[in-house]
Amino acid sequence: MEPRFFADCQARVAADLISGRWPMVVLYSLADGPARPGRLREQIGGISQKVLTETLRRLEHNGLVERHRYAEAPPRVEYSLTTAGKDLLVPIRALGDWAAVYADQLPTENKP
């Protein structure tokens, strides 16, 4: 039988876009609309400014988030989801629903 999850298959490319600890969390945090980085850090909790900035840049580079810079003093920056980012919330929410059902059966860092 042939492998179905090739290195260049579209599903794997999509999974790479959101792989890691923070991308899905940041996307989900933007579900209610545009937010400034400080608000995102408060909502998310446990993420450093550096990691948040790196994650937002990666999501922007991948076309899932837009950065809006306002010409004000001091400069103000907000991030919002693109259409692709909004559409990605559907499988992210589905994964969250699945995790809620199976949470007790999933291994965690704290369990042996």
**Looking at residue 38, which CATH number applies to its domain?**
1.10.10.10
Enter the pTM of the model. Answer: 0.83
Q: Is residue 55 assigned to a domain?
A: yes
Instruction: Count how many domains the chain has.
Output: 1
Model confidence pLDDT, tens digit, residues 56-105: 999 999 999 999 999 888 889 999 999 999 999 999 999 989 989 998 88
Residue with more model confidence, 20 or 5: 20
Q: Is residue 5 assigned to a domain?
A: no
Categorize the per-residue pLDDT at 111 as very low, low, confident or very high, splitting at 50, 70 and 90. very low
**Res. 23: pLDDT tops 70:** yes
Q: Is residue 1 assigned to a domain?
A: no
Cβ–Cβ under 8 Å, residues 24 and 93: no
Residue range of the domain that includes 47 = 20-95
Model confidence pLDDT, tens digit, residues 30-69: 999 999 999 999 999 999 999 999 999 999 999 999 999 9
Q: Is residue 43 assigned to a domain?
A: yes
Q: Is residue 7 assigned to a domain?
A: no
For residue 30, the model assigns a pLDDT of 97
Angstrom distances, CA of residue 68 to CA of 71, 100, 107: 10, 34, 39
Say how far apart CA 51 and CA 44 lie, in whole Å: 12
Q: Is residue 10 assigned to a domain?
A: no
Q: Which residues pair with residue 65 across a beta bridge?
A: 81
